[in-house]
Amino acid sequence: MKDFQMTVLDSSNVRFKGQKLLLVDDDSSLLKLLSIRLRHIGLDVLTVESAAEALAAIPVFNPQLVITDLRMDEMNGMALYEQIQQTSPTLPVIIMTAHGTIKEAVEATSLGVFGFITKPINHSELNVEIEKAFKLHAGTASSFLEKKWRKNIIGQSSVMESLLKDLYHVAQSDISVYIQGESGTGKELIAQAIHKASPRKNKPFVAVNCSAIPEELLESELFGHKRGAFSGAIENRKGLFELADGGVLFLDEIGDMSPSFQVKLLRALQEGEVRPVGESQTRPIDVRVVSASHRDLKQMVDEKTFRLDLYYRLNIVTLRLPNLTQRLEDIPLLVNYFIAAGGTKVKKVSNEAMEILLGYEWPGNIRELKNVIDQACAFATTTLIPASLVEKALQKKSLSMPSFNEARKNFERDYLIQVLKLVGGNVSQAARIAKRNRTEFYRLLSRHMLKPASFKEKK
Ligand SMILES: Nc1ncnc2c1ncn2[C@@H]1O[C@H](COP(=O)(O)OP(=O)(O)OP(=O)(O)O)[C@@H](O)[C@H]1O
Ligand SMILES: [Mg+2]
């Protein structure tokens, strides 16, 4: 009781004016005592006795900080924190426990929990934590814990956590990062996160897909051109390097860049300047380069299709993205995220459907998972996606898009059938319509195992 009196006296100089704090503990007497003390230092405190009540209160009360007990029945403090992360990723959470162990504290803070406090509560320590949290929430400090930069990256698997930790670390400097990952693993998302976590975050992020642009255009695209430099260059145009000035240039599918362009890129990076096509003057560039590819660049270097010197320049740090099947525990999170993002009436997938999703191979990784969920949501008639819809989406995807060769074969066969029907199986006439000579036409027919006789009108 003595201690309590002290706190009241201490708090005569109010430190926190009307800041909102949500306090969660299943021990109602502690809740009462603690809230009295916190109100005395000026806080607007709401108390609840369970995590479920806390989740219901957050959207209504809009706290700037949550302090929760760790050990609670039903849902514990960590689970509560994880839920809060889904809906309010920037809301700081401080966890208190009477059973605080170093291990739990480390785990909690590495997951992004803002602070950790052991019971019995030392009040000056708590005040310091609260102050830090408010400062952070006010956006004065952008930090790993604040997690703004990773807001749309879903995943709590240990591979992803350690990748994101590395990412945050390397983002702070200007070193070149190379992102290796198979198709649909989130390379572009990761490149954006490097930008968001870096001191360059308020400058542009410019992405360019090196495989989508023909080589002759890539130079003017990246370096710009002078008016009249080539036919079609009707005005001076800045290249993407210049547009990304002060920010980050993301060179996607760098493995598809031709050897001759690799030389030009290397020179620009080495000199720190670009020369627009048709221009005699060079221009200095201040750009951080992040690159990515689904190919194995090291192997390309061994096969001499990628320059070793460029490889070293781009690849000071490699971030390797795991395939979706290497992070199965993220699938349920991703599924729920894509369901919510879709904005349909669907709320979740059935347990059976989830099992199918967990057992699938995902050659197209997260992009494929997103497509499957989007499709299933589109066809769902209730708030729950049944297994049958997931199965359908998984099959449809492979059936709906034949390969180019398959599509061409189908088209040829359908075309030939139409023509033969039209002329009642007369090959000379059919060949004329198709503008092919008879020999060629017979070859086509045999390729598709079509017999002209079967198109003859039966008399
Ligand atoms: N961790 C993640 N959390 C949420 N969405 C993700 C995650 N990773 C990827 N996505 C989503 O999956 C899709 C594919 O991601 P992205 O385009 O970054 O992959 P990529 O590796 O560049 O793919 P590609 O090889 O096809 O270019 C995007 O819609 C992206 O938003
Ligand atoms: Mg991509």
CATH of the domain at 361: 1.10.8.60
Query: To 10 degrees, what angle do helices 187-197 and 158-171 make?
Result: 40
> Who contacts 304 (Cβ-Cβ below 8 Å, separation ≥6)?
none
Q: Please check whether residue 240 is in contact with residue 206, taking contact to mean a CB–CB distance below 8 angstroms.
A: yes
The residue with tokens 């929430």 is 137
Is residue 151 in a domain? no
Residues with CB under 5 A from ligand 2 (ion): 187-188
Does the CB atom of residue 294 touch ligand 1 within 6 A? yes
Residuewise pLDDT in 10s, the chain (459 residues): 334 333 333 444 467 777 899 999 999 999 999 999 999 988 999 999 999 999 988 878 888 899 999 888 888 888 898 888 777 766 889 988 776 565 666 666 666 677 778 888 888 888 888 888 887 666 533 455 557 888 889 988 888 988 998 898 889 889 899 999 999 999 999 999 999 999 999 999 999 999 878 888 899 999 999 998 888 888 999 999 999 999 999 999 999 999 999 999 999 999 999 999 999 999 999 999 999 999 989 999 999 999 999 999 998 889 999 999 999 999 999 999 999 999 899 999 999 999 999 999 999 999 999 999 999 999 999 999 999 999 999 985 544 556 788 788 888 988 999 899 889 999 999 999 999 999 999 999 998 888 888 888 654
Reading the block at residue 447, the tokens are 């390729």
How high is the pLDDT of residue 108? 64
- CATH number reported for the structural domain that contains residue 275 in this entry: 3.40.50.300
How far is the centre of ligand 2, averaged over its atoms, from the C-alpha of 181 (Å)?
Answer: 9
* 281 shares its domain with 165: yes
Kindly state whether residues 314 and 428 are assigned to the same domain. Answer: no
Does residue 188's CB lie within 6 angstroms of at least one atom of ligand 1? yes
| CATH code for position 41 | 3.40.50.2300
CA of 456 to the centre of ligand 1 (A): 54
Q: Are residues 381 and 234 in the same domain?
A: no
> What pLDDT shows up at residue 10?
43
Among 82, 104, 137, the domain boundary falls at 137
* Residue 328 in domain: yes
pLDDT of the residue at 437: 92
In angstroms, the CA 41 to CA 109 distance is 26
For residue 322 and ligand 1, the question of a CB distance below 6 A is answered with no
Question: Do 438 and 391 share a domain, yes or no?
Answer: no
* 77 and 133, same domain (yes or no): yes
Same domain assignment for residues 170 and 313? yes
| Maximum separation of any 2 CA atoms in the chain, in Å | 113
Tell me, yes or no, whether 389 and 295 share the same domain: no
Does the Cβ of 155 fall within 6 Å of ligand 1?
yes
Domain that holds residue 288: 158-320
For residue 420, give Cα distances in angstroms to 149, 296, 437. 62, 49, 15
Q: Count structural domains, the chain.
A: 4
Instruction: Tell me: do 367 and 422 sit in the same domain.
Output: no
Last-in-domain residue among 268, 294, 320: 320
Taking CA atoms only, the protein residue closest to ligand 1 atom 9 is 186
Query: For ligand 1, is residue 183 a contact (CB within 6 Å)?
Result: yes
Among 276, 302, 320, give the residue marking a domain's end.
Answer: 320
Q: Are residues 392 and 431 in the same domain?
A: no
> What is the CA(182)–ligand 2 centre distance, in A?
9
Ligand 1 centroid to Cα of residue 239, in Å, is: 26
Same-domain check for residues 275 and 166:
yes
The answer to whether the CB of 292 falls within 8 A of the CB of 153 is no
Residue 147 lies in a domain: no
* Ligand 1 pocket residue status of 185, Cβ below 6 Å: yes
Distances (CA, A) of 88 to 63, 146, 156, 223: 10, 11, 16, 41
Same domain, 343 and 253: no
Would 150 be classed as within a structural domain? Answer: no
Distance CA 323, CA 194 (A): 19
* Number of the ligand 1 atom closest to the C-alpha atom of 185: 21
Output Rg (C-alpha) for the chain, integer angstroms.
31
Query: Would 145 be classed as within a structural domain?
Result: no
Which of 205, 366, 370 gets mutated to test ligand 1 (max ligand atoms within 8 A of its CB)? 366
Q: Are residues 287 and 183 in the same domain?
A: yes
Whether residue 152 is contained in a domain is answered as no
Q: What is the pLDDT of residues 260-294, one digit of tens each?
A: 999 999 999 999 999 999 999 999 999 999 999 99
Question: What is the reported pTM?
Answer: 0.61
Asked whether the beta carbons of 239 and 208 are under 8 A apart, the reply is no
Distances (CA, A) of 369 to 159, 331, 339, 379: 19, 9, 11, 16
Q: Is 44 in the pocket of ligand 1 (CB under 6 A)?
A: no
